[in-house]
Structure 1
């Protein structure tokens, strides 16, 4: 789901730094034999009932034969030994499996147990769309207690989805232009403000087409799911073990729909609502409502810890301070670079993750005490960070490309204006900022598909779903909807909690059930509700 400017756990999902290194991704290529075979089978219905299914079979068979040429990761990837890195080649267009190819970057760390303990690979997607999964194997390097049990049985495998980072990447604007600040206040004061934002959104869509138009029609979740099946084959696994968080749950849901008999174990954490009525326009509107609720939860915590932060001892006072900060930054951007939009991007990490609560509150507190430097550093741009800026721009480009391509979007500005004006009245924290981020989809210059109907198809084993009740980025109703659609699934609910991406948080009730499922396939006979994980301390 929607990313913030803060590099965090499963849900922010900024791509890793992009520095050309010894293992720079090969350019997109034509497959050998392309001239003879480019069209053979591209319209065949003899393998799996569709041209894409035939293309997946061709690519997966090829990947299984070739495997992955694992090497030490380039030093500038930030992936230390014994993590290994490599590439998997996939078709740009699965209807033309012998046509143009693109690269998918993958990495792994071997299971920590014996050969007898090993159950294959556990493949991870952290969300986005646009997030890099390459940091996943580092959970072994950093000795994560939560994942120690699973790591004994599984190779932990991460990958950059098509368009992302170390894979064949896309871009929509010059990265240095993308990070310039301050940007316009997302909350419009006039029709002129709205016209200006509409112009920026249309220009962004045009930039995507100009810079990456050759990939845009193929930047869909179903294609990424097909890539995932080719990666599975390249790893030598007959069936997929998968952990998906945030947008990764939607990727997993689509994979489970397209390749039900290829699933072995699947954990889906913090769930995107997969209803075709929700993907993606309505999903983002629902997000605005949920963010306001979790924003209030955080402000309540700040008020309860006023002895530490001195921001306000009631929710109302904290909200007043927020509005004052916003107004001040609009008139005179903090440090010349932090305006209202930069504030929203930084502060929204608190509704996203409990782990950000203390950091955001402390940064705000220092500002109120007369020290704006931490706020400028954390919320402002870093023009000298070329690699980080490329990663940030790429991540946003993939987010936009996938959501715009996955489903039909409203093209009527009247509808966008009406819906977001209505929501802003009650849920002002994120509504307009979210609207402008997604508005390029209204003028998207590439085909938009019909959303995939997620459902249980023959062969799908029981899936484990995990969700907190007050999640802002992926509201709880999404988990309930997927639970209904995937028959035999089990839902673990973390009540009275709202952090996004809960399988990487310490909660013995949840952690134990996830581990038991991954190691033995064991599920409770019914859905389970867990008490919340510990509330952050100031």
Structure 2
């Protein structure tokens, strides 16, 4: 659960939308006939992304001029009845650029969320993986319920505008009631519009899809690169299919031992830590930091801004206003990468002058809202997958009991994340477990990378994942950096370790540290 509650969008997908500035359900899918592993994929030129994937143009050619290819894989709707009805899962690939005799197989990516479209994210960041393409076909997919893969549908665009404008940090009984009623309406809309999918979008279902994908792609083992929630999906796959794991990298690692409450509390600390790093960077590298005289002053002014917005929203992107909730989401979005810090600085400067448009644009990116006012289904998918996975259900009394701990962890994000624990209230499907089982005895070594400055998946999760995978399986590497993830930071040490492992099978020593 890397982005619980109101921080529901897939961070990497949202970042791609920010920098780049018809929903087909499963109701009409035909029943399966025969063995699903016997199907042959029909690879074709990729279409433009669907609205549920975030829209936009078809993917640009690869650096060497080659074309991205897309296909649809049929998978059982219900893995307990594998020869029953099927759904279509959208796949994308870039063929290996190296000699055929050097090709290892397919390298499957999941970029996180849950709820992020791999079909749009892989080409958006494809140039970063060109070295890996020398020995692999690069493959990604929209997991079930996401994007073009039988997408979960909940509220419409107009309703989502209101949903993301509401006060997500209530201060009195009336505001608490309004938040709870809004959550219940959203969840009822999910059941009304996608009730057939909701019991079938758990991470265990997606892991079984990946093993089917492995077989259909013609690979004896699954070679895998999971980022953020993708590490949880990879861990669940390793637990279910330990002897089918190939070379696997987990980057920006989810703590598999934590409950939803513990995960949200860890994020509160993580985002506050990242905000402190942003503030210190501003005052130490700028001759005259426009946001404050000291790091503490920068943070204090942000707290005051959010308090003021609770009472008096600013003009945002017309006709919408920048509310306290939208501003908090926009600040959080900008802490996923140091590349976004400049936008946060500009957005805060602008807000202090009475204009909330930049912070609102950042918030829109977090929530999957395009400039045309259309939303991807990232939020609907994220909530549906998290609620299918997570057994605990919280009420307002639980949140009020926990608020002091969350506020102590973060004066900026504490309330926001604590109240987000209500997200699965009255969800129509029971959650599977308190936390995922990722124990994988018999699996080969898996490279587990933690970033000490990661706000969304705090660094401690990497050690927890390595331990949970089992002795001799989880191999931890530490990156002392900032932002969500390590490989895409461009750090040479991290990249050399990943390339040596994925391309040559050379596992780095456990405890390796990159700075």
The answer to whether the superposition gives a TM-score over 0.5 is yes
Partner residue, 2:432 = 449
CA offsets, 1:136-159, max 9 Å, x none? 542686x43xx3321100111110
> In the alignment, does 2:277 pair up with 1:304?
no
Partner residue, 2:64 = none
Comparing 219-228 with 333-342, which one deviates more in the overlay?
Answer: 333-342
What is the alpha-carbon root mean square deviation over aligned residues? 2.9
Contact 1:124/1:136 (<8 A) preserved? no
TM (norm. structure 1) is 0.84
**Secondary structure in 1 matching 2:498:** helix
> In the alignment, does 2:45 pair up with 1:72?
yes
> In the alignment, does 2:101 pair up with 1:116?
yes
- Give the drift of 1:108: 0.3
- Give the drift of 1:210: 1.6
Structure 1 unaligned spans of 5+: 34-57, 532-538
Cα separation, 2, equivalents of 1:405 and 1:383: 21
Contact 1:338/1:380 (<8 A) preserved? no
Q: 1:485 to 1:388 in 2, by over 3 A?
A: farther
Partner residue, 2:269 = 289
Equivalent of 2:203 in 190, 204, 221? 221
Contact 1:201/1:440 (<8 A) preserved? yes
Comparing 366-375 with 500-509, which one deviates more in the overlay?
Answer: 366-375
- Give the drift of 1:469: 1.4
Partner residue, 1:31 = 31
- Give the drift of 1:163: 0.4
Q: 1:182 to 1:120 in 2, by over 3 A?
A: closer
What are the within-5 Å matches in structure 2 for residues 11-26 of structure 1?
none
CA offsets, 1:176-212, max 9 Å, x none? 2102377233332223222221222222222222221
- Give the drift of 1:96: 0.7
- Give the drift of 1:498: 3.1
Equivalent of 1:472 in 455, 461, 470? 455
Partner residue, 1:52 = none
Partner residue, 2:406 = 423
Q: 1:524 to 1:196 in 2, by over 3 A?
A: same
Contact 2:334/2:362 (<8 A) preserved? no
Partner residue, 2:482 = 498
What are the within-5 Å matches in structure 2 for residues 184-195 of structure 1?
184-195=166-177
Q: 1:353 to 1:530 in 2, by over 3 A?
A: same
Cα separation, 1, equivalents of 2:16 and 2:76: 25
Equivalent of 2:140 in 150, 158, 161? 158
Equivalent of 2:255 in 261, 265, 273? 273
Cα separation, 1, equivalents of 2:384 and 2:324: 26
Cα separation, 2, equivalents of 1:28 and 1:431: 43
What are the within-5 Å matches in structure 2 for residues 56-67 of structure 1?
61-63=35-37, 65-67=38-40
CA offsets, 1:398-447, max 9 Å, x none? 11111111131134432232113432244222223223434131321112
- Give the drift of 1:229: 0.9
- Give the drift of 1:308: 5.6
Cα separation, 1, equivalents of 2:326 and 2:263: 23
What are the within-5 Å matches in structure 2 for residues 49-448 of structure 1?
61-63=35-37, 65-76=38-49, 78-81=58-61, 82-138=67-123, 143-144=127-128, 147-180=129-162, 183-275=165-257, 278-307=258-287, 309-335=289-315, 337-368=321-352, 372-379=356-363, 385=370, 389-391=374-376, 394-448=377-431
- Give the drift of 1:511: 0.4
- Give the drift of 1:345: 0.9
- What count of residue pairs does the alignment treat as equivalent? 491
Structure 2 unaligned spans of 5+: 50-56, 62-66
**Secondary structure in 1 matching 2:100:** coil
Contact 1:363/1:374 (<8 A) preserved? yes
Cα separation, 2, equivalents of 1:182 and 1:134: 25
Cα separation, 2, equivalents of 1:270 and 1:29: 35
Comparing 197-206 with 504-513, which one deviates more in the overlay?
Answer: 197-206
- Give the drift of 1:10: 6.8
Cα separation, 2, equivalents of 1:380 and 1:260: 39
**Secondary structure in 2 matching 1:176:** helix
- Give the drift of 1:14: 7.6
- Give the drift of 1:383: 12
**Secondary structure in 1 matching 2:334:** helix
CA offsets, 1:366-393, max 9 Å, x none? 44456655445444699994876330xx
- Give the drift of 1:29: 2.2
Comparing 248-257 with 286-295, which one deviates more in the overlay?
Answer: 286-295
Cα separation, 2, equivalents of 1:374 and 1:440: 27
Cα separation, 2, equivalents of 1:342 and 1:317: 22
